Amino acid sequence: MPGNRGVAYEGPGKVEVRETDYPTFELKDGPGVNPANVGRKLPHAAILKTVATNICGSDQHMVRGRTTAPSGLVLGHEITGEVVETGPDVEYIKTGDLVSVPFNIACGRCRNCKEGKTGVCENVNPDRPGSAYGYVDMGGWVGGQADYVLVPYADWNLLKFPDKDRAMEKILDLAMLADIFPTGFHGCVSAGVKPGSTVYIAGAGPVGLAAAASAFLLGAAVVIVADLNKERLDQAHSFGCETINVALGEPKDQILHIIGEPEVDCAVDAVGFEARGHGHESEVERPATVLNSLMDVTRAGGALGIPGLYVTGDPGAADEAAKQGSLSIRIGLGWAKSHSFVTGQCPVMRYNRQLMMAILHDRVQIAKAVNATPIPLDQAPRGYHEFDEGAARKYVLDPHGMLTRAS
């Protein structure tokens, strides 16, 4: 049995690569594992050799100490891998398959899964619907920023790439299918982006950039990306986006300058609960700023896609209400403008196969759009630090050097 390493959260601002257990077909006790899941048998699972595993902005919320994540939690929910072993109940996935792992863990059997709502599976997290690898309060499934990882319900969850050699040629792009590409696409679909749309995207981190690329894929006429970080705005501009620096003020005036009117057809929140204010408040955390500004700049009858993360527990919030996930949302404004809102985890399986085909047939260059940057697993702490400092990159961990060899 080979050894295993994983990237573990060790307290606010600290991650380290540590030796960890090799996966087995039973969920063991450990940091963050729900007691009701301990001892759960997993004959339907597969063990993967990790080919690529990405650092996500959602991971950063935990690493900053903004959640109740326990020390020792192995991180990582954006996983691409090669199957090295399957449980006795796995019928269709085979050893040697190269696969993408949706970050949502789903059973494929419950009502929500059968309705395509895989982000809120009822059977994988004893506390509430919805689960993910290596994430706080999500059932305790071990994260995939590791050499090897276990994936339950493998026949249902895993997306097999149809041609392994061809997939390795585009592996950096395909590594975005586990989360940020479908998540950005879901934000745009939820917001009603279609040919000719004008689109406002709050946040130029990887999800925001993925949303921008998705908006173009869906036929948007103008894609406007807003952020406080010049390097990230420059990255958005590099593939055709208009950009707004919200440190200079409210976005409405800048939107007017770009498209000739102060409102857009559609808007996407790719920031979430650690949002800052605009203008002179840009250094101050204002968690409702993005949601309220999206209602302000979206036309009456428009829609808002909200893939940005919001939580029910934020110990680092500035006020007691926000610590419980209660924000000062201008719901009256949204009501008056008849806005539609879609929130929650992206149901990755709704989109990943179609987006895989778009990548394989050169309809999109998502790795280039988000500036995907491979680094070895042992450099994960550096990647977390640089990402937290605002680097305009999507760090992709390469535990076995397979990305480097492919490039």
What are the tens digits of pLDDT across the range 1-34? 689 999 999 999 999 999 999 999 999 999 999 9
Residue 275 has pLDDT above 90, yes or no: no
pLDDT given for residue 313 in this prediction? 79
Contact of 57 with 205, CB cutoff 8 Å: yes
Per the listing, tokens 């109940």 go with: 89
> From residue 79, how far is each of 87, 163, 211, 342, 399 by CA, in Å?
19, 18, 19, 25, 11
Per the listing, tokens 């007017």 go with: 256
Question: What's the full length of the chain, in residues?
Answer: 407
Query: Residue ranges of the domains in the chain?
Result: 5-179+347-406, 181-343
Architecture of the structural domain at 5-179+347-406: Alpha-Beta Complex (3.90)
DSSP state of 42: -
pLDDT given for residue 316 in this prediction? 80
pLDDT given for residue 281 in this prediction? 83
What are the tens digits of pLDDT across the range 92-131? 999 999 999 999 999 999 999 999 999 999 999 999 999 9
| 3-class state of residue 104 by DSSP | strand
Contact of 304 with 191, CB cutoff 8 Å: yes
d(CA 76, CA 55): 7
CA angle 267, 273, 275 (to 5 degrees): 70
| 3-class state of residue 215 by DSSP | helix
Q: Which CATH class, in words, describes the domain spanning 181-343?
A: alpha beta
What are the tens digits of pLDDT across the range 304-324? 999 998 888 778 887 888 888
- H-only helix segments in 152-272: 154-157, 164-169, 171-174, 180-190, 206-217, 230-237, 251-259
| 3-class state of residue 270 by DSSP | coil
DSSP state of 374: E
pLDDT given for residue 111 in this prediction? 98
d(CA 155, CA 274): 36
What does the mean pLDDT of the chain come to? 95
The string of DSSP letters for 288-312 reads THHHHHHHHHEEEEEEEEE-S---S
What are the tens digits of pLDDT across the range 170-218? 999 999 999 999 999 999 999 999 999 999 999 999 999 999 999 999 9
Contact of 91 with 155, CB cutoff 8 Å: yes
Average pLDDT value for residue range 51-57: 96
d(CA 253, CA 85): 56
Q: What percent of the chain has pLDDT over 70?
A: 100
Residue 368 has pLDDT above 80, yes or no: yes
